[in-house]
Amino acid sequence: MFAKILIANRGEIACRVIRTARRLGVRTVAVYSDADSEALHVEMADEAVHIGPSPVGESYLRGDRIVAAALATGAEAIHPGYGFLSENPDFVDQVVAAGLIFIGPSAASVRAMGLKDAAKRLMEKAGVPVVPGYHGEAQEIVLLASKAREIGYPVLIKARAGGGGKGMRRVEHPDDFSEALSGARREAKAAFGDDRVLVEKYVDKPRHIEVQVFGDNFGNAVHLYERDCSAQRRHQKVIEEAPAPGMTPALREAMTEAAVKAAKAISYSGAGTIEFIVDASQGLKADRFWFMEMNTRLQVEHPVSEMVTGTDLVEWQLRVAAGEKLPKTQSEITLSGHAFEARIYAEDAAKGFLPATGTLHHLAFPDNAPEGASMRIETGVRAGDAISPFYDPMIAKLVVHAKDRQAALDALGTALSQTEIAGSTVNTAFLAALAANADFSAGDVDTGLIGRHQEALTAVAPPRSEIVAAAALAAAGAGALPSNDPWSSLAGYAHFHSIARRTRLRHGEDDILARVSVRPDGRFEVALDAPYDSVNSHDLRAAPRLARWPGHVTVFEGAVGYSFFVPDPLARTDEAAAASGSLRAPMPGLVKLVRAAKGERVIKGQPLLILEAMKMEHTIAASHDGVIAEIATEGAQVTDGTVLVRFVEEAA
């Protein structure tokens, strides 16, 4: 076993690797950018080396600096985690050339599977079924469009390099092909440095089922069964589970056999995932699955496989890279129970899952696993950390395991309802709604499920009067809120002031006036304007969960966190600016493309520009008819709230 390894990654996966390495007695070296100087993975590691500025191209994608850090600290091997350089064969070559060990597959294996088109041609030769489509080298738009017609619409345009939904577009009609292709190419170029694509048939009711495989350097390869990753938004996974619901013995045998065959075809060593698309329109059948791609690294969702097989895949990675054989044979790997993983992100589900930023002023996960279940919280942040615009906005992965699917699903819902996050917009309410969705609960899931139910899944009921009253009491109180009696801090002022204390709150676009007064019996009454009802404090003794943070109060009800802004009564607001006719950046990003010009008359809903943030493209459309007075320039780097478009003021 290694004495010391360097982890060429950050956040949750870096912390995950450190925990296993520590258990095995292996010392760890972290690397970090300017933005991560005080990050959790830096704190947890035995040593840490600064590798550059915050942008990934100047830090976490600098293989030369990472290799230099490993050599300088005496590390013997480099663990790539996932993302960044984990599937870059040139980086693997750099590591090996420096006399270090890459904890993962060989550069040849990575190259064989790194480009989707080449990988599919290889799998065809190996006898693994592949999705019907065009996987050739030619990239002329006329050829690609003709191939799409041959395949038959709808089709899916996919970047040949990378994954995670970046550079991917579904096209329903030939008239939309050209624009979809341009968007996919731009996004692929930004994310992977390669704008080439492939075109495939879009499966009507697709299930995304993948198989965890593992190989060693002695020719052995095994599978650790399947995971279902069909619950996706914008082609990115949201909740994963193992095993796949409705899986038949025939399909499992065929799929796992194909996965192991794929791994052996490239002499694979280390952890890998073979991803399949399954046509579930007529149930799960052994002749209705096709190879999509191979991820030559550890997957984000690997914990569910660990939970149902009782393994530590990071330990396996370290042992195999150190020259050992696989810890278990195929017959020794068995399934037990069911597991779910929910990805908790800083994002606004109601606004199309826009990534969010902010400081995690309050971050609390359940202290104990729900009854009858086990639980893991995989995170790379703690309370007080900031969600940066430079990196993926994942906060944590909540993983539960129980005896069967229903018990695990119940545990997932319970754990989400006990999770408290304040300081950034998060997706916990969306995750809880998805877990409770009737189709998802029944296991009737496909990659279009979230899209079909998106409005219902992302809708959040307005706060009840009791929630608003709790926020008003917290805002009016002094000092920290005691956990046993959230209202006792108010007693000091209330007993000495007979008049009501006025408190203003803002929730979304709503300004709320609350009047807090003390009753003769010492209880408080909160008078609220319509549409809310007045509330007495004794009605709130089932103590709402609260978090107070600078200028705000968040009240938690289930998986929903209702955040209220508490205006500073001495602060002056610029009402004119608030009412001005302009469009502002919903998040920090790069103005990638401008589709309108100064002086142009536009109509409501017309696309005006494309903002690239976190390697994804977001279209900014006109909010109303009008004439453009100013518009941002292409290539401009903007921050959250920057005015992108200003309209000519209409004459009175």
Q: What is the 3-state secondary structure (H, E, C) of 518-580?
A: ECCCCCEEEEECCCCCCEEHHHHCCCCEEEEECCEEEEEECCEEEEEECCCCCCCCCHHHHCC
Distance CA 199, CA 150 (A): 11
Residue closest to 587 by CA, chosen among 356, 323, 414: 356
Distance CA 51, CA 33 (A): 6
Beta-bridged to residue 275, according to DSSP, are 210, 293
For the sheet containing 27-33, what is the strand order?
47-52, 27-33, 4-7, 77-79, 101-102
Residue 271 has φ and ψ, to the nearest 5°, of -85, 135
What's 128's DSSP letter?
-
Q: Identify the three-state secondary structure at position 589.
A: strand
Q: Name the token pair of 643.
A: 């005015």
Q: At what angle do helices 107-114 and 89-97 cross, to 10 degrees?
A: 170
Helix or strand holding residue 167 (H, E): none
- Which of the following is catalytic: 111, 297, 319, 545? 297
Q: Name the token pair of 44.
A: 């947890």
Q: What is the 3-state secondary structure (H, E, C) of 377-396?
A: EEECCCCCCEECCCCCCEEE
Distance CA 365, CA 284 (A): 36
Q: At what angle do helices 249-265 and 116-125 cross, to 10 degrees?
A: 110
Instruction: Tell me if residue 523 is catalytic.
Output: no
Residue ranges of the alpha helices (H) in 74-176? 89-97, 107-114, 116-125, 141-151
Question: What residues act catalytically?
Answer: 297
